[in-house]
Structure 1
Amino acid sequence: MPPTAVLVHGAFADAAGWTGVIAELQNHSIPVIAPPNPLRGLTSDAAYTASVAAQIDGPVVRVGHSYSGAITSVAGAAENVVRLVCVAAYVTEEGESLSELQSGLPLSRLVSNLKEATYPAEGTEPAVEVTINAEAFPDIFAAAVPAAATKVLAVAQRPPAASAFTEMASAAAWKTRPSWALVAGADQAINPEVERFGAKRSGATIVEIEGASHTVAVSRPKEVAEPIRDAVRATS
């Protein structure tokens, strides 16, 4: 039995974004699950997704898209995780936040197109969460997705807690786990230079897809599935 691929979605989206990639992996007889990401903060999101992976029999290949690259850097340190794959993602160092990782490089268009709202948080004042302005969403987040679909996605966003961008990563699993990284060359949500920097620093095997948008898993599922398959094959 090959390792199980655990695909964790990023901010503003849900696990449906992995549909095409899941089909590709299943066609190659690779066990796969795509759990929901709570999007309530780096530490709690990493703990939740790590608990899902810990209940899988056998080894796990952790895959993270976007914000979940940071989650993968933290939760990938779990004992049964053997390989890491980051897709159009932030790849954080221990003690580093997403905001710090981006500092010194030009910010993506996403940063200036975020809309804040509040939600109830137990024991504290209302917490802040963010969404992408609906009119900017298609170009920034899903440029390669048909226009009719982006209109739906824009109003079905799953907002992350604003604290997810400032919370520091408690581990950097790529220091002890072989990793792969896919860079989306035309990403408007994360500056591709941020993706390249994190990928190179982690020593990952890097694949870059020229012209790919942030939703590369939706628009180019076969190409996204390939480094995941490579990680599984390297383990098997």
Structure 2
Amino acid sequence: MVSGKPTIVLVHGAFADGSGFQPVARQLILAGYPVVAAPNPLRGLSSDAAYLGALLDHVEGPIVLVGHSYGGAVISAAARSDVRALVYLAAFVPEAGESAQSLVEKFPGSTVGESLRPVPLPGGQVDLYIDPAVYHPNFAGDLPAEEAALLALTQRPASGAALGEPASGPQAWHTIPTYNLISGADRIIPPAAQKFMAERSGAHVETVPGASHLVFISHPGAAAALIEKAATDHAQE
């Protein structure tokens, strides 16, 4: 790589897309990092991880892999040997047998059940959206209402199968160093659940008090700084 720095691969979660990473990506690019914002199909955990893995196979050199929310479950399954660190931003860090759905139900405080709006699909499948009426208070509470409304309009749905599919096989956080940014006022993944997963994985942990589930948008500086720390800590491996 020309920069001599690892490539930062950013993986969005459900009800979002890669464009939400623009403020974080801008800071990383200015710091000299190659950046890839990977599309996440949001169709099923195993298939989404396979999709990401295929993309990672075409990234040259070392990688720092970053996941937000459901994207955390995807990076945990998709990481390859050239991934130097995993960075979780208000994210799921599942153990084998756990799903996103089971983890949000493990601790009180999540509004995800009341926030979801199902849209039936042919063949008996269901797509899930965050109801725009509650997107701001429940998903993006520390963003301006106007910005939250635009994000609600452009959100990408996740299949019910994706959020309910348990992780399977070895999870990468058992062997790859992890970094976890906890959103202190998260109403989707309760902070207690985030702390439980971070401690279990032995992560370096930082917390943004008052941050919503979209901490990487509302506090891009904190997210970018943690990613740079992960990249710097493991630059020589």
Shift of residue 155 of structure 1?
Answer: 1.9
Shift of residue 55 of structure 1?
Answer: 0.4
Q: What is the aligned partner in structure 1 of residue 95 from structure 2?
A: 93
Counterpart AA for 1:60: I
Task: Figure out how many residues of one structure are paired with residues of the other and give that number.
Answer: 231
Unaligned runs of 5+ in 2: none
SS where residue 24 of structure 2 aligns?
helix
Matched, 1:140 2:138: yes
Q: What is the aligned partner in structure 2 of residue 5 from structure 1?
A: 8
Shift of residue 54 of structure 1?
Answer: 1.3
Q: What is the aligned partner in structure 1 of residue 151 from structure 2?
A: 153
Shift of residue 95 of structure 1?
Answer: 2.3
Q: What is the aligned partner in structure 2 of residue 178 from structure 1?
A: 177
Q: What is the aligned partner in structure 1 of residue 227 from structure 2?
A: 228
Q: What is the aligned partner in structure 1 of residue 162 from structure 2?
A: 164
SS where residue 207 of structure 2 aligns?
strand
Question: What is the CA–CA distance in structure 1 between the aligned matches of 2:117 and 2:72, rounded to whole Å?
Answer: 23
Counterpart AA for 1:145: L
Matched, 1:187 2:186: yes
Pick from 54, 63, 68 the counterpart of residue 65 of structure 1. 68
Shift of residue 9 of structure 1?
Answer: 0.4
Shift of residue 107 of structure 1?
Answer: 4.5
Deviates more, 1:204-213 or 1:46-55: 46-55
Shift of residue 102 of structure 1?
Answer: 3.1
Counterpart AA for 1:73: S
Answer whether contact 2:142 2:210 (CA < 8 A) is retained.
no
Answer whether contact 2:106 2:193 (CA < 8 A) is retained.
no
Q: What is the aligned partner in structure 1 of residue 107 from structure 2?
A: 105
Instruction: Report the identity percentage.
Output: 42
Mapping of residues 111-126 of structure 1, within 5 Å: 111-120=113-122, 125-126=123-124
SS where residue 135 of structure 1 aligns?
helix
Deviates more, 1:225-234 or 1:99-108: 99-108
Shift of residue 94 of structure 1?
Answer: 1.7
SS where residue 190 of structure 1 aligns?
coil
Runs of 4+ in 1 over 2 A off after TM superposition: 99-104
Provide, for residues 32-71 of structure 1, a one-character-per-residue CA deviation record: whole Å limited to 9, x for no partner. 1101111101111111111111101101111000111111
Answer whether contact 2:104 2:188 (CA < 8 A) is retained.
no
Shift of residue 100 of structure 1?
Answer: 2.5
Answer whether contact 1:3 1:235 (CA < 8 A) is retained.
no
Question: What is the CA–CA distance in structure 1 between the aligned matches of 2:164 and 2:232, rounded to whole Å?
Answer: 35
Shift of residue 118 of structure 1?
Answer: 2.3
Counterpart AA for 2:49: A
Provide, for residues 73-121 of structure 1, a one-character-per-residue CA deviation record: whole Å limited to 9, x for no partner. 1112x2221210000011101222122323431151122121111234x
SS where residue 206 of structure 1 aligns?
strand
SS where residue 46 of structure 2 aligns?
helix
